[in-house]
Structure 1
Amino acid sequence: MSAPKFDPAAHQASTLCLPPGNWATVLDCLCEHFQAIDRAQWLSRMARDRVLDAEGVPIGPAHAYRQGLRIHYFREVPNERPIAAQEQVLYADEHLVVADKPHFLPVTPTGEYVEHTLLRRLIRRLDNPHLVPLHRIDRHTAGLVLFSANPQTRSAYQQLFPTRQIEKRYEAIAPALPTLTFPLVHRSRLEHGEPFFRMREAPGQGNSETRVEVAEKGEHLWRYLLNPVTGKTHQLRVHMTALGASICNDPFYPQLNNTEVDDYARPLQLLARSLQFHDPLDGRSRCFETQLKLNF
């Protein structure tokens, strides 16, 4: 009997197409390509069937190297730091799951986080390995995240985002901007800066757009409503900084602060507040609202 077709998205595996080189085995290639992972760790993963070929068949230490060979492997982080904050499932059916993500929890495995991510938690909680996020929000941002729960209907929901058929509204607490007239639209060109994970505004044709309104005014801080027309990395955070009102407790903007230890007492005051769209399956209007609140 042939091996069942392997779905890396469903199993949360990472994928690598082996680069050109003169290695004798796949193991040799992996050891040189991922120098932060020692040979003993790769041997352990292979012994536990955590390194697979394109068909999902386990690969052993003697498996011959071939350029372009597609390898699936499972990321593992020893001594992963736990994140106490808990997510909340707001809605679930056979096609969609909507969850409220707390501050500091990543949406998907990244860097030092694998098990303590919203995706892994929901897979375990709902017993559905087919969950896939339809969009992302920053680890420091809290609020709504929409997941596809069914591979058969996934593409219909995925198309809502690049075709801008879904309205995303955010809320932010930031310094007052009494000299500006609201509502306003801020457009700019965003590019990766230094370090690589920070974005910056650069000369050239704009590739990002945010609509900004004021919902509530305090003496020094205002509550802003942000509608990202585009979805660039850190777009809202960079645009608010460019306007002269960096979002409160932002560890990246306008300057990079110490991010080695999360300060749970000072979360970024940015919240994914609502998602609204017409369901591509039946055309009905759908609107989801977060149950989380910012400190104002």
Structure 2
Amino acid sequence: MTSPHEFVPPMINGVSASKVFLKVITPEPATVFAYLCNEFPHIAIQEWKSRFEDGLVYDALGNHLSLSSAYQANTHCFYYRFLAHEVHVPFEHHVIFENKHFMVVDKPHFLTMSPTGQYVQETLLVRLKNQTGNPDLTPIHRLDRETAGIVLISKCVESRGLYQQMFATRNVQKTYHAIAGFKADLHFPITTQLRMEKGQPFYTMQVIEGEANSETLIELLEHDQHRAKYLLKPHTGKQHQLRVHLNHLGIPIENDPLYPHVAHKAEDDFSAPLQLLAKHIQFQDPVTSEIMQFSSQRELTL
């Protein structure tokens, strides 16, 4: 909880400020600018310089910090992150339900959930903050940038933990649809259980020997000679789980840029969306005890 006198940075263009604690380091830097450049070496010095010059860095009391502002250990500062250029994602999200505590959003393909890397304004969270003016919006769970479909967004701090806990304890039934290859020698339904760990490159996952830590029920919905539509029910929530499980069966999801092979596309190439859709979600609302069910209005077709 913030005290009545604590500075709360305003939201700017849907972007909330990041908070950084200024810890004790040796040798002690002379300025906050020097401290931030040292602590975040992956961010260009010119980027930090621009943030200070643009008035996007504040101290704990809400005063603008300059490039010469003295460093003071055991305090904190705030900064905003904007990008000079972002590739526009030409697809829209749809809010299909909301109440006091959360909103249910139908996310399009290619839209990243939260600010990261080369995306700030072109993210679902910042779009929603701009749309609603609510700085407290926070994703309760996540979908990959490439995946479309249903996602829950918390609207208020007070109940957020209840909904996050609901996902952490797997008290949520999630159903996905996917388009992938058809193999006549695979007999469905199949429950796939695999041990998944970080792969190479670091943003991929791999299957290794050992006790399974991921599980998915896979059903066949329809197929033609070469392609099929599958229903997927994950019991666990490992990164890229559904993509890895179908690839392991020899039926990688159509247009997957990572599995079985990493194939980088241009940032403005929206021609081949990953054929994976978070279609349905069901849970018992931890606040009202009501059974809630929501389905994406999007469809994947053979």
Q: Same fold (TM over 0.5)?
A: yes
Shift of 1:75: 1.9
* Mapped contact 2:9–2:17 kept (Cα < 8 A): no
Asked if 1:265 corresponds to 2:271, the answer is: yes
Mark the CA change 1:256 to 1:39 in structure 2 (over 3 Å): closer, same or farther: closer
What residue in structure 1 maps to residue 81 of structure 2?
75
Asked if 1:168 corresponds to 2:171, the answer is: no
1:121-153 deviation line (CA, Å, top 9, x unaligned): 111112211111100000001111110111111
Q: Within 5 Å, which residues of 2 pair with 1:110-121?
A: 110-121=116-127
Mark the CA change 1:228 to 1:66 in structure 2 (over 3 Å): closer, same or farther: farther
Percentage of identical aligned residues:
41
- Aligned AA (2:112): P
Distance in 2 separating the partners of 1:202 and 1:65: 47
Work out which of the residue numbers 13, 18, 30 in structure 2 matches 1:14: 18
Distance in 2 separating the partners of 1:114 and 1:24: 31
Distance in 2 separating the partners of 1:16 and 1:236: 35
1:92-111 deviation line (CA, Å, top 9, x unaligned): 22111111111101011111
What residue in structure 2 maps to residue 235 of structure 1?
241
Distance in 1 separating the partners of 2:78 and 2:173: 35
Distance in 2 separating the partners of 1:59 and 1:128: 26
Structure 1 residue runs of 5 or longer lacking an equivalent are none
Mark the CA change 1:220 to 1:135 in structure 2 (over 3 Å): closer, same or farther: same
* Mapped contact 2:15–2:126 kept (Cα < 8 A): no
Mark the CA change 1:2 to 1:69 in structure 2 (over 3 Å): closer, same or farther: closer
Structure 2 residue runs of 5 or longer lacking an equivalent are none
Q: Within 5 Å, which residues of 2 pair with 1:170-185?
A: 170-185=176-191
What residue in structure 1 maps to residue 252 of structure 2?
246
* Mapped contact 1:3–1:57 kept (Cα < 8 A): no
Asked if 1:202 corresponds to 2:208, the answer is: yes
Distance in 2 separating the partners of 1:80 and 1:131: 22
Shift of 1:172: 0.2
1:152-199 deviation line (CA, Å, top 9, x unaligned): 111111111011111111000001132222212111222111111111
Asked if 1:188 corresponds to 2:191, the answer is: no
Asked if 1:290 corresponds to 2:296, the answer is: yes
Q: Which sits farther off after the overlay, 81-90 or 22-31?
A: 22-31
SS at match of 1:248: coil
Q: Within 5 Å, which residues of 2 pair with 1:98-113?
A: 98-113=104-119
SS at match of 1:89: strand
What residue in structure 2 maps to residue 4 of structure 1?
7
What residue in structure 1 maps to residue 37 of structure 2?
31
Work out which of the residue numbers 275, 278, 283 in structure 2 matches 1:277: 283
Return the TM-score normalized by structure 1. Answer: 0.90
Mark the CA change 1:41 to 1:264 in structure 2 (over 3 Å): closer, same or farther: closer
Question: Would you say how many aligned residue pairs link Structure 1 and Structure 2?
Answer: 295
SS at match of 1:44: helix
- Aligned AA (1:14): S
Distance in 2 separating the partners of 1:132 and 1:112: 20
* Mapped contact 1:6–1:55 kept (Cα < 8 A): no
SS at match of 1:159: helix
* Mapped contact 2:111–2:122 kept (Cα < 8 A): yes
Distance in 1 separating the partners of 2:216 and 2:64: 47
- Aligned AA (2:289): G
Distance in 2 separating the partners of 1:278 and 1:262: 39
* Mapped contact 1:21–1:67 kept (Cα < 8 A): no
Distance in 1 separating the partners of 2:60 and 2:15: 13
* Mapped contact 1:94–1:149 kept (Cα < 8 A): yes
RMSD: 2.4
Shift of 1:77: 1.5
SS at match of 1:225: strand
* Mapped contact 1:13–1:72 kept (Cα < 8 A): yes
